[in-house]
Structure 1
Amino acid sequence: MGALVTLELPDDSPILALPWIITFGPLDDDEEWEPVVCGPYERAHALALAQSVVADEELMAVVEPLLPRVSAEEIRAEIAAAQLAAAAEDEAADLADTSIYGDYEDLGAEEVIGEGTRRPVQAGQPPDATEVRAGIARIAAMLTRPHR
């Protein structure tokens, strides 16, 4: 039996109306393969598909909304918010650890497995919001065409 991860949202959340994707990956940390991303779907369809796939498989499915952002600034704001939330969670966890184990020093040891393939990225001109919206419309049209 696998695992399904998704957002718990109130019934009136506008995020429910967005397109949703499913990312399937290994449930076991010892298993390594590239995740498979499927979608976009309506949320109910994404949840049903994910549940049916992971029901009898040792897989993890993450069902999440596609958040169309039409500018680099909007994307940067999302990243900053996610980083801020993660930092707050880390700080809360550190405080909890300190209250249990006393104060400690993080030595910054990091386990590295394999060799990375990081390459420097050259900043380019991001598309404007009109171009991004037109691209989203083209994707929607492509998804609604009958398959041959």
Structure 2
Amino acid sequence: MIWPLLGGLCVLTGFANISGSELVGAQIDLLLQLLGMLSMALFLDAREGRITCSDKRRICGFFIVVAGIGAGSIHFVDECNTVQQQPPFAAVILVGFFVSGLGYAMQAKCNSQLSANIGGPASACIICAAVTIVAGIPTQAYIFL
């Protein structure tokens, strides 16, 4: 019962979006979040047995999205000064975008389980938001300062 309560922690990596979007652009931010969400959804489906290695359509669709993100990123890297001037920092920001996508997908799973445990989606949303706010105070204070 404890891990659904911690669903609010899953989105704390979203802090990367705040500083990273202005440095590397919102397009890459959203694309990498999408990749993270799709990766987590694919992982959860495989874990629950709803998808197997023989389900070629879903797996091919996933790799088409990965190829599209890669193709879009090549053009992006050529134009973006932050990626060229500060590669380690940009790599951390890009990984943060991906991890935040993983967290958003995981939060949805946690909220679904929490909703089933406590009897409703509204209560689950309030608990998740409270966890996110309380746990995010140090990060929000750091970003503010």
Q: Which has the larger radius of gyration?
A: 1
Task: Tell me: higher relative CO, structure 1 or 2? Use CA pairs within 8 A at least 6 residues apart.
Answer: 2
Same fold (TM over 0.5): no
